[in-house]
């Protein structure tokens, strides 16, 4: 059965963060949602800020649609930019490109979605602190209210399968195959469930477990 973790000590594993920022934002109309300000900061930049303040050792942003606009939204933030020319295939292609850019000196990859601007650094800390590459658990998933969320931290033993992903399913395709490897990390915020797909979603504040809006 998947293991459940509520807290842990600091991990010494080498973790890189992959920010998937290649999508076309079709449901947002003419706007590229990742460049829209949320709390005064472009959505993709908020995600990068949370990751750069965490224990992740590298932050890699995978671009696709309108890469120059994504780069501009990031301002002077120091990140590794990797372009996915096949972004129209779906999220699986961006995961492939990101994992391929990691090289060999990485124990795990935290895959974050650039349209989840309310995930805070504390959630990232908890996932990375729970991560270890030397036991039977190798997929670390945040959970709130009994429901799994994002981002997800993958041990390096899964990189070969992530490099084989296709279509628009992402890493979820591997959850059932490796159910016994999943470690659920409980968090106290619904932000791990909140992404932005439509203009209406921007009007909804992220809500903590205590019911208070964070924005």
**Residue ranges per structural domain of the chain:** 3-201
Please determine, looking at this structure, whether the domain spanning 3-201 carries the CATH number 3.40.718.10.
Answer: no
Q: How far apart are CA 33 and CA 80, in angstroms?
A: 21
| pLDDT, position 170 | 80
Inform me whether the pLDDT recorded for 30 exceeds 70. Answer: yes
Helix count (H) and strand count (E) of the chain? 5, 11
pLDDT interval class at 25 (50, 70, 90): confident
| pLDDT, position 56 | 96
DSSP state of 133: S
What mean pLDDT do residues 187-196 have?
Answer: 93
The residues, ordered by sequence, that sit 6+ positions from 144 with a Cβ below 8 Å of its Cβ are 186, 187, 188, 189, 190, 192, 193, 209
What mean pLDDT do residues 16-32 have?
Answer: 86
Summarised one tens digit per residue, pLDDT across range 33-61 is 999 999 899 999 999 999 999 999 999 99
Q: For residue 200, with 0-12 CB atoms within 10 Å meaning exposed, 13-18 middle and 19 or more buried, which class applies?
A: exposed
Inform me whether the pLDDT recorded for 156 exceeds 50. Answer: yes
Q: For residue 132, with 0-12 CB atoms within 10 Å meaning exposed, 13-18 middle and 19 or more buried, which class applies?
A: middle
What mean pLDDT do residues 199-214 have?
Answer: 55
Question: CA 41, 61, 50, 185: dihedral to nearest 10 degrees?
Answer: 140
Summarised one tens digit per residue, pLDDT across range 123-155 is 999 999 999 877 789 999 999 999 999 999 999
| pLDDT, position 3 | 55
Question: CA 213 from chain center: how many Å?
Answer: 22
Q: How far apart are CA 95 and CA 46, in angstroms?
A: 20
Contact between 143 and 126 (Cβ < 8 Å): no
């Amino acid at each position: 059965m998947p293991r459940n973790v509520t807290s842990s000590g600091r991990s010494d594993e080498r973790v890189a963060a992959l920010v998937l920022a290649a999508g076309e934002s079709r449901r947002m109309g003419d706007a590229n949602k990742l460049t829209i300000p949320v709390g005064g900061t472009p959505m993709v930049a908020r995600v990068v800020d949370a990751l750069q303040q965490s224990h992740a050792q590298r932050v890699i942003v995978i671009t696709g649609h309108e890469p120059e606009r994504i780069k501009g939204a990031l301002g002077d933030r120091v990140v590794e930019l990797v372009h996915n020319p096949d972004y129209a295939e779906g999220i699986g292609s961006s995961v492939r490109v990101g994992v391929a850019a990691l090289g060999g000196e990485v124990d795990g990859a935290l895959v974050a979605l650039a349209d989840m601007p309310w995930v805070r650094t504390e959630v990232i800390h908890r996932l990375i602190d729970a991560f270890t590459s030397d036991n039977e658990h190798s997929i670390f998933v945040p959970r709130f209210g009994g429901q799994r969320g994002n981002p997800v931290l993958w041990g390096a033993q899964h990189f070969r399968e992530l490099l084989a992903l296709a279509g628009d399913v992402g890493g979820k395709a591997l959850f059932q195959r490796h159910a016994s490897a999943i470690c659920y990390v409980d968090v106290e915020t619904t932000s791990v469930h909140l992404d932005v797909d439509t203009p209406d979603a921007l009007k909804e504040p992220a809500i903590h477990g205590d019911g208070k809006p964070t924005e």
